[in-house]
């Protein structure tokens, strides 16, 4: 009986050690990942809607923590309202709700995170001061989807990734976002790495063909 208990305890200890020694991979440390991207535009305002996962405590500190679902709505005006926040109405599949968008002073856009996922086929519109934005899921037409972009980025970084590893463990966090750099509807995936060592790498990937637009 004692021999059996000893074997059992050693087995439990071995399982625990395997769990503790699990290597942290870079793919496990993506602190923001856009998976679906909607866009809408009128003469005076441009809107985007990013759907995916991001850190619950969203901080650029090189440390990845628990992810939660997010849907980030962003409006950029040609003539910006002189307000710190604007009251809008969001309609999803004919269900309307009030939504407050707050000014981001860093890029002069108005933003709100719904805190939950919208679906790729949802019918979405946003109204503000006689402006109506009807959003379209344009990411469904991306030749390079989010998972493709991650693979392309890691392949492009290659041996440069070694500077973010210590004893086989990835020491940092990553971000995958969609950007319209020139405000001309030419969209790109941007994959960024922020290490605990404060080192940063970025690669910009064309959604149309996966070509590398920029690496820095």
Instruction: Give the tens place of pLDDT for each residue, 22-39.
Output: 467 899 999 999 999 999
8 Å CB contact between 128 and 157: no
Mean pLDDT computed over 196-209:
97
Residue ranges, CATH 3.10.450, the chain = 146-215
Bridge partners, residue 32, by sequence: 54, 175
Q: Which of the following CATH numbers is that of domain 146-215: 3.40.50, 1.10.10, 3.10.450, 3.20.20?
A: 3.10.450
For residue 58, the model assigns a pLDDT of 87
Question: CA 153, CA 16: separation in Å to the nearest integer?
Answer: 34
Which is nearest to 152 in space by CA: 140, 160, 144?
144
8 Å CB contact between 96 and 124: no
Return the CATH class of domain 29-141: mainly beta
Question: CA 35, CA 88: separation in Å to the nearest integer?
Answer: 25
Question: Is pLDDT at 109 greater than 90 in this prediction?
Answer: yes
8 Å CB contact between 60 and 193: no
> What's phi and psi for 78, nearest 5 deg?
-70, -40
pTM score of the predicted model = 0.86
8 Å CB contact between 71 and 117: yes
Choice among 3-12, 36-45, 59-68 with the minimum mean pLDDT: 3-12
């Amino acid at each position: 009986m004692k021999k059996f208990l000893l074997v059992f305890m050693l087995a439990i200890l071995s399982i625990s050690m395997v769990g503790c020694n699990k290597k942290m991979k870079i793919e496990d440390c993506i602190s923001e990942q856009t998976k679906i991207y909607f866009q809408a535009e009128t003469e005076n305002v441009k809107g985007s809607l990013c759907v995916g996962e991001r850190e619950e405590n969203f901080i650029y500190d090189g440390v990845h923590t628990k992810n939660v679902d997010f849907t980030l709505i962003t409006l950029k005006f040609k003539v910006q309202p002189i307000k710190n926040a604007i009251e809008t109405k969001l309609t999803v599949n004919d269900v309307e709700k009030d939504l407050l968008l707050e000014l981001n002073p860093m890029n002069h856009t108005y933003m709100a995170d719904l805190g939950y996922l919208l679906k790729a086929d949802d019918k979405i519109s946003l109204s503000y001061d006689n402006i109506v934005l009807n959003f379209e899921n344009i990411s469904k037409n991306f030749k390079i989807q989010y998972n493709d972009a991650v693979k392309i980025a890691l392949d492009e970084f290659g041996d440069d990734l070694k500077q973010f590893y210590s004893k086989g463990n990835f020491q940092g966090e990553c971000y995958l976002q969609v950007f319209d750099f020139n405000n001309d509807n030419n969209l790109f995936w941007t994959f960024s790495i922020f290490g605990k060592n404060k080192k940063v790498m970025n690669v910009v990937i064309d959604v149309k063909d996966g070509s590398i637009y920029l690496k820095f």
